Amino acid sequence: MNPPQTLELPTANALPQKNANPVQAMQQDYDNYSPDDFAVWQALFTRQAAQLPGRAHPLYLKCVGDVGFTASAIPRFTEVNEVLASCTGFEVVTVPGWIPEREFFSLLAQRRFPATTWLRSRANLDYTPEPDMFHDVYGHVPMLAVPAMADFLEGLARIALPHAQNPLIIELMARIYWFTVEFGLIQTVEGLRIYGAGILSSGGESAYCLSEVPARAPFDIQQIMATAFYKDRMQTLYFVLNSFEQLYHSLPEIERVVQVVTEVYNDARLQGLVERMATRAVLQLC
């Protein structure tokens, strides 16, 4: 199944209510999946199922089973949503691909996780430049059943949403999301483990991130906000949590930094300076 074109979606002026839909209505057309799609899912699932034990956080591995993922079947969103509803109140909603920041955060603030329905081709099992269903669903969905992660996602979205038109704040929010939800590591009594979806869905990075090659640093909000990331290569630095509760309890610090940066950004006397300053320098003002 090939990726559809990304659509430009209308913006919302305020946080939608739970039953509001800031994206165009889409459904997972299960009958449209081809034998190749099922083969791709099976190949990727089998590879990660063999590689992740001893690398992924035990909660993730447990939740893969809880949400009903198997190698033999592409997940049905309706069935997955029944499980998520009982765990954290999250649900998976279908989107065509990348969506604008306001729509993305609007969905997360309502505990609705945007996911594509297309799968990469057999020729591109190891990498796809735009996240496909395997990344969105296999990587992200099991962690949506973990209350601390669900609370963090909603809280982060509610902090970000009022600033969706501020490019500096969105960049800071993107860095937090990237180094936690996508590429986060966590320390456990058994050792270092993976919880980030970008790693969990990647055969190469799920081995690389725990090797001696990349650098690792303790979880620190301002350091994360001051650190750029790469979309087209493996990361050179990962941030390590002590617990999922630490992630959720970081929300007040995120909100404090956002408020300070916003005040500086909105000061007409400083705006030109802020636009010329590196993100790290801006954060020193906090």
Which of 135, 239, 150, 141 lies closest to 192 in space, CA to CA? 239
Instruction: pLDDT band for 20, please (50, 70, 90 cuts).
Output: very low
pTM over 0.75: yes
Distance in angstroms (rounded) separating the CA atoms of residues 27 and 21: 13
| Domain-wise residue ranges, the chain | 30-283
**129 with 232: CB under 8 angstroms?**
yes
30-283 CATH choice from 3.30.1360.120, 3.90.1170.50, 1.10.10.60, 1.10.800.10: 1.10.800.10
- What pLDDT sits at residue 164? 87
Q: How far is CA 117 from the centre of its chain?
A: 16
Q: In the structure, what pLDDT confidence band is assigned to residue 3 with cuts at 50, 70 and 90?
A: very low
Residue pLDDT, tens place only, 50-88: 999 999 999 999 999 999 999 999 999 999 999 999 999
Residue 7 has pLDDT above 50, yes or no: no
Residue with structure tokens 């990660």?
Answer: 48
- Residue 234, token pair as written in the block: 């493996």
Q: Does residue 261 have a pLDDT over 90?
A: no
- Detail the DSSP E strand segments found in the chain: 91-94, 112-115, 185-188, 191-194, 215-218, 237-241
End-to-end Cα distance, the chain: 47
Integer Cα distance of 231 and 178 in angstroms: 10
Task: Return the biggest CA–CA distance within the chain.
Answer: 60
Q: What is the pLDDT of residue 204?
A: 92
Is beta strand 237-241 parallel, antiparallel or unpaired with respect to 91-94? unpaired
Kindly report which listed range (38-42, 94-98, 180-184, 248-252) carries the lowest average pLDDT score: 94-98
Amino acid 271: pLDDT: 55
CB 80 within 8 A of CB 136: no
Average pLDDT, the chain: 86
Cβ(191)–Cβ(129) under 8 Å?
A: no
Give the integer Cα–Cα distance in Å for 73 and 33.
11
pLDDT-based confidence at residue 282 (cuts at 50, 70, 90): low
Report helix, strand or coil for 241.
strand
Q: Is the pLDDT of residue 283 over 60?
A: no
Answer yes or no: is pLDDT of 4 > 50.
no
- Other Cβ atoms closer than 10 A to 27: 10
Q: What pLDDT is recorded for position 128? A: 77
Residue 138: per-residue pLDDT:
97
Cβ–Cβ under 8 Å, residues 168 and 257: no
pLDDT band at 12 (very low <50, low <70, confident <90, very high): very low
Q: How do residues 103-161 score in pLDDT, each as one tens digit?
A: 999 999 999 999 999 999 888 888 777 889 999 999 999 999 999 999 999 999 999 99
3-state helix, strand, coil in the chain (%, to 5): 50, 10, 40
The predicted structure's pLDDT at residue 146: 96
